[in-house]
Structure formats: C-alpha cells, structure tokens
Amino acid sequence: MRYSMHMGFHDGDASQREAGARGAVKGRATMRDVAKRAGVSLKTVSRVVNEEPGVSAATIAIVTAAMDELSFQRDLLAGSLRRQDRRSDSIGLIVAGVDNPFDAIIHRAAEDAAAANHVAVFAASTNEEIERERSLVRAFTSRRVDGLIIMPCGRDQSYLEPELTAGTPIIMVDRPPVGVAADCVISDHQNAAKLAVEHLLAAGHTRIAFLGDLSHIASLQARKDGYLEAMQAAGVTVDPELMAIDNHSENAALGTALRMISSAHPPTAIFSAQNRVTQGVVRALYERNVHKKIALVSFDDFPLADMLNPAVTVVAQDPYTIGRLAAERVFERLENPKLPVKTITVPARLVRRGSGEIPPPADE
C-alpha cells in the first residue's frame, strides 16, 4: 500500500504540484522545495539548516515548519561536493574479518571515536586476501572517505601512495605497513611473543611448539621472531617439527595440533600465535585428553578463555585502545595534515590463568 503511494511528500497541493512540475513522482524534498514552500530563498533555508547567524526568528520558524511539512532531510553527499573542505564525514575501516572478535572490538572503538566527530564508518573485511584489500581501498576512496583505518594483509602497501599524496589520512592497525610510510597503531608483537615463550621456558619447557596463522601477515612474522628470539636466548634448539605456520583456519590448526600431539616427540608446551588458531589447539588438546598435561599460551585473548579447564593463559592485546587511537589519529591528521608519521605501540600483557603454568612432565 505504502509503496503504491508515489507522491513523495506529505499531503498539501502546493508541494504535489511542485513535485509534478519537476517531473518527479517520488523522492525527497530538497532545499529548493522547502524554500518555495516557505516563500524564502534557497540560501535562507541553507542558513537555517546550518544554523548560521543572521536569520530572523520569524523566518527560522517559517522555514522550520516547511521542512517538517516536507520531511526535509538535508543531503550530506551533495553538500560535501561543494563544501570547501570536501569532507564526506565518513571514514573507512578495513579489517581481516568484521566477525573476528579482535577486529570487531577495533571496529567498535573506531565507531565510538568517529561518532564523537559526527562521522559514519564504512566497515569491510579483507578475509586476508590481498586483492580484496586493494579493491576495498578503491571502493572507499572513490566514496571519498575522509580517512582510512586498515589492517593490512598484503606484503606491500605502496599502492596507497597516491591516496596519501591526495591527503587522505591512512592509519594501519595491528600490523605495520610495508613499502609505504603511514601511521600505525600496534601491539609490540615480537616482545609480547617473547614474553609468552619466556614464561614457558621459565617453567622448564624446552619442547615448545609454535603454531601460527598466515605467513604473509606481518604480525605473524613478528610473533614468530619473538618466539625464536626467546628460544635462542635460552639456548634451546628449535625442533622444526614443532613449528607450523599457515594454519588458515581453526580446523587447520586443529589438524596440525593433533598431528604434533600424536607424534613420536610431542611438545610439552604450545605457543599459539592467533586467537582462531588457539581455538583449534584447545579442541585438539581436549580431544586427546591432554589439556591438563600440555601447557598452552595464546597470543590474543578471547571470550570465555578464563572459563575453560584449565583456563587459558594468554598474551592479551588491547584492541579497543588500538581502534580508538587509530580513529583519533585520523582526526588529528585531518586537523593537521603535516603531522609526522608515527607508530603507536599499545602494551600487551601476559594473563596467567592456568594453562600456561602447567609444568613439563617430570621424566623430561
């Protein structure tokens, strides 16, 4: 019923005639429509809408009434086209997956910071696909977002150079950019990973497995380096059998962990370098009933980690702070485009919960 009623405006002959005269049978009222109805000029309506000074109270009342009658809503897109600063009052957020809890918290933080600036957030997922990262950047910049927050998955972000030159603030999160100088908000992956592995080493473990996700992600490399650094510093030789990367899914990690656990020389501890990977490892440990025998430390916290048995010891990052700082940096850079490029490190901390405190077997 509603959809067959094609007159876009509320009742009232005048507005219907106007709409008809413009050939439109449906659509939204414009400032011109409001101006005509209120008997004032377009510019006066603009002044009222933008709350500019120099309009008499009486005129404001007339214009406001006309706006209400026509359900007028200003078109921000059209406005930004002509506006001096050309701001669209929108930013783009590109993460690995908007449904990953870590990414989702970054998203929420960015949204909160953006909302405080009357800015809307486009959000999208790369799915860790390099081509998708590029096409999402194109999709957002061609919509003239005022800034971009990117969790880069590719090996090279030099393709962003023209955007940077055009003045679009671009802030990387969670992973440093490669091939381009851009702001970055990030955990200290390498040191945090080192911390985790040192914790296991201190308990006497030497057969510490490393399970990572995709090798082309910079943060995974940093976490691996932290693992290797800690092992080397402790004088422990790394068994290549205990290093497995490119676990592209929870299921892949599950399979890898099962294989390691069942091998001739299983690890006595596992360092899992990503939240999805951890969930696969946890499943494997339970499936083989060794969850109380093999130690586990996870990079990245996850919901209910503390309710498992044993509760999972993690290196907890602070995604909300990461997202907030990234968004705030966008707005800072919008204010002052000449700011020097900066990397902001957000602390991660070891949260001891039990799984990381399981000692190695006595007969080792």
Partner DNA sequence: TTGAAAGCGCTAACAT
Partner DNA sequence: ATGTTAGCGCTTTCAA
Q: Does 268 contact DNA by CB under 7 A?
A: no
Q: Does 132 contact DNA by CB under 7 A?
A: no
Q: Smallest distance, Å, CB 78 to its own copies?
A: 5
Q: Does 233 contact its own copies by CB under 8 A?
A: no
How many angstroms separate the first and last alpha carbons of the chain? 77
Q: Does 60 contact its own copies by CB under 8 A?
A: no
**Residue 58, exposed/middle/buried by CB under 10 A (0-12, 13-18, 19+)?**
exposed
d(CA 146, CA 332) in angstroms, rounded, equals 12
Q: Does 290 contact its own copies by CB under 8 A?
A: no
The DSSP secondary structure of 8-50, one letter per residue, reads: -S-S-HHHHHHHHHTT-SS----HHHHHHHHTS-HHHHHHHHT
Q: Does 30 contact DNA by CB under 7 A?
A: yes
Q: Checking phi first, is residue 150 left (phi over 0); if not, alpha (psi -120 to 50) or beta?
A: beta
Which region, judged by CB under 8 A, interacts with its own copies, from 15-23, 95-103, 146-154, 185-193? 95-103
Q: Does 50 contact DNA by CB under 7 A?
A: yes
Q: Does 101 contact its own copies by CB under 8 A?
A: yes
Q: Does 289 contact DNA by CB under 7 A?
A: no
User: Which of positions 165-224 make contact with its own copies (CB under 8 A)?
Assistant: 165-167, 181
Half-sphere exposure of 223 (CA within 13 A, CB side): 32
Neighbour order of strands in the sheet with 349-351: 243-244, 208-211, 269-272, 295-299, 313-316, 349-351
Interface residue with its own copies, options 12, 286, 292, 347 (CB under 8 A): 286
Q: Checking phi first, is residue 111 left (phi over 0); if not, alpha (psi -120 to 50) or beta?
A: alpha
- Select the binding partner of residue 26 from DNA, its own copies, none (C-beta < 5 to 8 A, by kind): its own copies
- Select the binding partner of residue 286 from its own copies, DNA, none (C-beta < 5 to 8 A, by kind): its own copies
Contact at 8 Å (CB) between 133 and 94? Answer: yes
The site for its own copies (CB under 8 A) is made up of 2-5, 8, 10, 26-28, 71, 73-78, 80-81, 86, 88-90, 97-99, 101, 104-105, 107-108, 111, 115, 118, 120-125, 138-144, 162, 164-167, 181, 279, 282-283, 286, 302-304, 307-309, 337-339
